[in-house]
């Protein structure tokens, strides 16, 4: 066994769980490191507090004096907790989080040092940060990037730093981050939903989109990870034969959580609670060493921030427990990948979940309105929704037998399917008011049952209605939720705006009653968008064919999927809602397409290195042992040796064949990479990498994995799947 592999395994086997004591109730820890309502009430004057709330709830501007007061209060609060630095915390287009710390400490006159934090430092900063991807936005004439305070996501203390959530925009106002478009999309869905919700209740003033994400991840011992260059550089294994026992027995799923993982989770949960991330659920996932964590759902912007923050905390806490968290969507071939289900719903300031079937017919029509409009929005924008979750890493998961396919469809369950069928077919032609009333009562009267029975969940669907929310399951575990949330909220906002104008037009033109007009439009929507509804097995071959017949897209790779991001339809959508202008849309496309190329490029390099510098030399070493053995047999048996040494000689030949195939495969891949790098156009280069470079990965891997089975375990250099996945 190579030294590295041997020491890694030895080290990981020696580790003990590091449980920290829980001495307080979790509820008493919740949010203690957040400048939340309670902290603000304590630290701010009534008027200042009111200004902040006005900014949070109604987007009102905060004046200079108030900003100074808030900054002062924040500083005092932070200093009282031993904080030394502050940072504007933002999410650049890398998808990760960014921070640049400044000390409160300042010298004013010679020899006088104080802690200072003023309103302007709270409200706006210019972190330079010119090395973040910007897709050309900052090349033009003004290279400056600014961060600006987002009061809707409260400031928090992490370590010894006060973190202030901010947006990141260019001097010319274009968004350089994921948060800005998300906030605009949330604003759009708020406005559009309020206008429609007012059909049913005049008192609705605000609608919030909620998000509850479920984070899946692998926990692997850090020493074992360090022994695998592919995990270190690509976040996943590029080689490795499946272990004799994998997940076939389903004995990990919901099983008792291993001690070391449990100690990590407890630590992680306590850290999260201090930051008001309402972590609630934890369990083992399907694959060995795979787990899931889910919080209680929150307002979408906050939930997105909390997910990004959590991923960061996970990395740090894992370090303390000698683990590495793998967020990659498919770290191990042949083993379940990881996703991040995005549970989404809309709720009013009057306390109503617009996607929950109510108890009275009126509120049921409201439910049907939002339910059917969402279906229509997804149908009309299925390619954009697919594009929102596209990444090099998620490509390995989507459609890989245990994850939703690259085809977007909606599962709504048997009962709602029946309801929609009835709504669609009961009335042919024009609707008489009498018929309509009967129908409405009849149909909607059934809906409450749905709430009680949402057991027939279809795990193979990428987008499923689960009782009182939609669950977007195709989102990848490493994704920043802002992307899918921006798309989903934008498309539904646009749809609701169109719906409202169609209903109003019908009321005016045909003198229809409001309910009747709503019903008429909804019925048309059901007809138009029913092709997106699918209740069957999304993993099956049949669905691929059926989906094609229905005209649904099946964009299996990221370069293909991303095209929808810059289609005319998308540009119209975003510009009409004010979510992004054309420059911002194109910039994100350029960044993502380039990121794809870089990912495949890096993987290609690492694979080439592993194959040529680890696998082939080891195979040669083993082959030499066999050759020695055959020579010895010849010495002993003379002419008879051929029969006796037959197996060894076959092995020697087989190894030579594999070495040749690996070597020629790597050489050919390198040649294709060289060609790819000469392609100037970003999109064409990504496609080249996807179609010409990537296919070599599987081919090279196949022979390397065969060698892993042949070669003496004692000298195999790379830590094996069984060691990575089953060390506890």
d(CA 475, CA 386): 9
Altogether, the residues listed in the chain come to a count of 728
The least CB distance from residue 108 to ligand ADP, in Å, is 48
Contact of residue 376 among ligand ADP, Mg ion, none (CB under 5-8 Å per partner type): none
If the CB atoms of residues 293 and 690 are measured against Mg ion, the closer one turns out to be 293
- Binding segment for Mg ion (CB under 5 A), chosen from 177-185, 338-346, 395-403, 715-723, is 338-346
Q: Report 502-561 residues binding ligand ADP (CB under 6 A).
A: none
The least CB distance from residue 315 to ligand ADP, in Å, is 21
- For the chain, state the CA radius of gyration: 29
d(CA 485, CA 342): 8
Task: Give the position of tokens 């040749």.
Answer: 660
If the CB atoms of residues 282 and 446 are measured against Mg ion, the closer one turns out to be 282
Q: Report 84-123 residues binding ligand ADP (CB under 6 A).
A: none
Among 295, 484, 538, 717, binds ligand ADP (CB under 6 A): 295
Contact of residue 307 among Mg ion, ligand ADP, none (CB under 5-8 Å per partner type): none
Contact of residue 210 among Mg ion, ligand ADP, none (CB under 5-8 Å per partner type): ligand ADP
Between helices 646-678 and 616-637, what is the axis angle to 10°?
Answer: 160
# binding residues, ligand ADP (CB under 6 A): 15
Phi, psi of 378, deg, nearest 5: -65, -40
If the CB atoms of residues 295 and 538 are measured against ligand ADP, the closer one turns out to be 295
Among 99, 214, 221, 329, binds ligand ADP (CB under 6 A): 214
Q: Which two three-digit tokens encode residue 322?
A: 């000698």
Between helices 361-380 and 179-197, what is the axis angle to 10°?
Answer: 140
Q: How far is CA 50 from CA 41, 44, 62, 70, 492, in A?
A: 10, 9, 10, 11, 32
Angle 382-601-557 from CA coordinates, rounded to 5°: 20
The least CB distance from residue 453 to Mg ion, in Å, is 17
Angle 309-314-315 from CA coordinates, rounded to 5°: 105
Asked if 216 interacts with ligand ADP (CB under 6 A), we say: no
Contact of residue 468 among Mg ion, ligand ADP, none (CB under 5-8 Å per partner type): ligand ADP
If the CB atoms of residues 119 and 212 are measured against ligand ADP, the closer one turns out to be 212
Query: Which residue, judged by CB position, is nearest to ligand ADP in the bound state?
Result: 212
Q: Which residues pair with 90 in a beta bridge?
A: 98
Contact of residue 294 among Mg ion, ligand ADP, none (CB under 5-8 Å per partner type): ligand ADP
Asked if 376 interacts with Mg ion (CB under 5 A), we say: no
Contact of residue 174 among ligand ADP, Mg ion, none (CB under 5-8 Å per partner type): none
State whether residue 216 is helix, strand or coil: strand
- Binding segment for Mg ion (CB under 5 A), chosen from 191-199, 208-216, 311-319, 571-579, is 208-216
The least CB distance from residue 621 to ligand ADP, in Å, is 48
If the CB atoms of residues 207 and 479 are measured against Mg ion, the closer one turns out to be 479
Contact of residue 125 among ligand ADP, Mg ion, none (CB under 5-8 Å per partner type): none
Answer for the pair 30, 280: CB distance below 8 angstroms, yes or no.
Answer: no
- Closest of 660, 668, 664, 658 to residue 694, by C-alpha: 668
Burial label, 286 (beta-carbon count in 10 A; 0-12, 13-18, 19+): middle
Asked if 341 interacts with Mg ion (CB under 5 A), we say: yes
Answer for the pair 88, 97: CB distance below 8 angstroms, yes or no.
Answer: no
Asked if 297 interacts with ligand ADP (CB under 6 A), we say: yes
**Chain Cα centroid distance, residue 302:** 15
If the CB atoms of residues 5 and 341 are measured against ligand ADP, the closer one turns out to be 341
Asked if 463 interacts with ligand ADP (CB under 6 A), we say: no
Q: How far is CA 306 from CA 154, 165, 201, 390, 455, in A?
A: 11, 11, 32, 22, 29
Among 294, 496, 580, 616, binds ligand ADP (CB under 6 A): 294
Query: Binding string to Mg ion for residues 293 to 332, with x set by CB under 5 A, is what?
Result: ----------------------------------------
Contact of residue 265 among ligand ADP, Mg ion, none (CB under 5-8 Å per partner type): none
State whether residue 495 is helix, strand or coil: helix
Q: Which two three-digit tokens encode residue 519?
A: 């019903």
Q: Report 266-285 residues binding ligand ADP (CB under 6 A).
A: 281
If the CB atoms of residues 475 and 615 are measured against Mg ion, the closer one turns out to be 475
Q: Report 173-212 residues binding ligand ADP (CB under 6 A).
A: 210, 212
What is the helix (H) or strand (E) element at residue 221, kind and residue range?
Answer: strand 207-221
Upper half-sphere CA count for residue 24 (Cβ side, 13 Å): 9
Q: Report 42-61 residues binding ligand ADP (CB under 6 A).
A: none
The least CB distance from residue 386 to Mg ion, in Å, is 19
Burial label, 550 (beta-carbon count in 10 A; 0-12, 13-18, 19+): middle
Q: Report 316-345 residues binding ligand ADP (CB under 6 A).
A: 341, 343-345
d(CA 242, CA 38): 52
d(CA 671, CA 117): 56
State whether residue 170 is helix, strand or coil: strand
If the CB atoms of residues 341 and 706 are measured against Mg ion, the closer one turns out to be 341
If the CB atoms of residues 345 and 458 are measured against ligand ADP, the closer one turns out to be 345
Answer for the pair 468, 326: CB distance below 8 angstroms, yes or no.
Answer: no
If the CB atoms of residues 212 and 399 are measured against ligand ADP, the closer one turns out to be 212
Asked if 353 interacts with ligand ADP (CB under 6 A), we say: yes
Task: Give the position of tokens 């933002």.
Answer: 90
If the CB atoms of residues 214 and 590 are measured against ligand ADP, the closer one turns out to be 214
Q: Report 211-240 residues binding Mg ion (CB under 5 A).
A: 214
Q: How far is CA 514 from CA 57, 198, 371, in A?
A: 30, 11, 18
Burial 57-74 (b: 16+ CB within 10 A, else e): eeeeebeeebbbbbbbbb
If the CB atoms of residues 214 and 267 are measured against Mg ion, the closer one turns out to be 214
Contact of residue 353 among ligand ADP, Mg ion, none (CB under 5-8 Å per partner type): ligand ADP
Contact of residue 373 among Mg ion, ligand ADP, none (CB under 5-8 Å per partner type): none
Q: How far is CA 713 from CA 11, 13, 618, in A?
A: 19, 18, 10
If the CB atoms of residues 475 and 700 are measured against Mg ion, the closer one turns out to be 475
If the CB atoms of residues 124 and 468 are measured against ligand ADP, the closer one turns out to be 468
d(CA 129, CA 316): 23
Among 427, 437, 468, 601, binds ligand ADP (CB under 6 A): 468
If the CB atoms of residues 115 and 299 are measured against ligand ADP, the closer one turns out to be 299
Q: Where are the alpha helices (DSSP H) in 477-581?
A: 482-510, 514-529, 541-549, 558-562, 568-577
Q: Which residues bind Mg ion (CB under 5 A)?
A: 214, 341
Q: Which residues bind ligand ADP (CB under 6 A)?
A: 210, 212, 214, 281, 294-297, 341, 343-345, 353, 468-469
């Amino acid at each position: 066994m190579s030294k590295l592999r041997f020491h890694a395994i030895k080290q990981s086997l020696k580790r003990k769980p590091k449980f920290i004591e829980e001495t307080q109730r979790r509820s008493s820890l919740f949010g203690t490191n957040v400048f939340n309502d309670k902290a603000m009430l304590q630290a701010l004057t009534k008027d200042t507090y009111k200004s902040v709330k006005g900014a949070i709830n109604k987007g009102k501007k905060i004046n200079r004096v108030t900003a100074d007061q808030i900054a002062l209060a924040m500083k005092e609060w932070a200093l009282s907790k031993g904080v030394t630095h502050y940072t504007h915390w933002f999410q650049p287009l890398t998808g990760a989080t960014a921070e640049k710390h400044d000390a409160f400490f300042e010298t004013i006159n010679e020899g006088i040092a104080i802690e200072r934090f003023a309103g302007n430092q709270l409200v706006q900063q210019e972190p330079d940060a010119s090395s973040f991807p910007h897709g050309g936005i900052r090349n033009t004439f003004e290279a400056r990037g600014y961060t600006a305070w987002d009061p809707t996501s409260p400031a928090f203390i992490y370590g010894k730093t006060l973190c202030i959530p901010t947006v990141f925009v260019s001097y010319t106002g274009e968004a350089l981050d994921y948060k800005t478009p998300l906030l605009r999309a949330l604003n759009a869905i708020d406005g559009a939903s309020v206008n429609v919700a007012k059909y049913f209740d005049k008192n609705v003033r605000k609608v919030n989109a909620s998000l509850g994400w479920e984070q899946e991840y692998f926990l692997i011992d850090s020493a074992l990870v360090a022994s695998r260059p592919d995990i270190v550089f690509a976040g996943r294994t590029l080689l490795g034969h499946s272990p004799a026992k994998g997940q076939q027995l389903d004995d990990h799923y919901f099983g008792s959580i291993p001690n070391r993982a449990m100690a990590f989770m407890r630590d992680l949960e306590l850290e999260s609670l201090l930051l008001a991330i309402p972590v609630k659920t934890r369990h083992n996932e399907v694959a060995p060493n795979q787990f899931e964590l889910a919080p209680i759902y929150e307002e979408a912007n906050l939930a997105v921030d909390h997910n990004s923050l959590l991923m960061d905390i996970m990395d740090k806490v894992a370090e303390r427990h000698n683990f590495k968290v793998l967020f990659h969507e498919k770290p191990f071939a042949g083993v379940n990948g990881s996703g991040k289900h995005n549970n989404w719903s809309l709720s009013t300031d009057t306390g109503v979940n617009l996607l929950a079937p109510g108890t009275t017919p009126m509120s049921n029509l409201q439910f049907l309105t939002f339910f059917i409009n969402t279906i229509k929005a997804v149908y009309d924008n299925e390619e954009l929704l697919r594009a929102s979750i596209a990444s090099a890493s998620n490509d390995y998961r989507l459609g890989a037998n245990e994850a939703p396919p690259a085809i977007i469809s909606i599962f709504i369950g048997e009962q709602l399917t029946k309801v929609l069928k009835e709504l669609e077919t009961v009335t042919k032609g024009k609707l008489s008011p009498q018929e309509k009333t009967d129908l409405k009562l009849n149909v909607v009267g059934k809906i409450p049952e749905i709430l009680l029975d949402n057991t027939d969940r279809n795990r193979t669907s990428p987008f499923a209605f689960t009782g009182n929310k939609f669950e977007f399951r195709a989102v990848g575990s490493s994704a920043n939720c802002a992307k899918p949330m921006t798309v989903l909220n934008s498309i539904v906002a646009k749809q609701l705006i169109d719906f409202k104008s169609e209903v109003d037009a019908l009321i005016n033109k045909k003198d229809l009653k409001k309910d009747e007009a709503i019903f008429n439009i909804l019925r048309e929507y059901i007809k138009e968008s029913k092709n997106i509804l699918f209740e069957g097995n999304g993993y099956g071959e049949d669905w691929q064919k059926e989906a094609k017949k229905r005209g649904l897209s099946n964009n299996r790779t990221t370069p293909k999927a991303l095209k929808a991001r810059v289609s005319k339809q998308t540009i119209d959508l975003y510009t009409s809602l004010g979510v992004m202008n054309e420059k911002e849309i194109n910039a994100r496309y350029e960044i993502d397409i380039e990121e794809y190329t870089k990912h495949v490029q890096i993987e290609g390099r690492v694979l080439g290195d592993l194959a040529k510098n680890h696998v082939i030399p080891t195979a040669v070493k083993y082959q030499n042992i066999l050759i020695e053995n055959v020579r010895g047999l010849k010495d002993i048996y003379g002419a008879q040796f051929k029969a006796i040494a037959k197996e060894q000689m076959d092995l020697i030949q087989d190894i030579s064949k594999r070495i040749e195939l690996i070597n020629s495969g790597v050489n050919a891949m390198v040649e294709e990479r060289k060609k790819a790098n000469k392609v100037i156009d970003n999109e064409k280069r990504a496609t080249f990498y996807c179609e010409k470079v990537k296919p070599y990965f599987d081919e090279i891997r196949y022979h390397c994995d065969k060698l892993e089975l042949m070669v003496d375990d004692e000298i195999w250099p790379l830590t094996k799947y069984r060691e990575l996945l089953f060390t506890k």
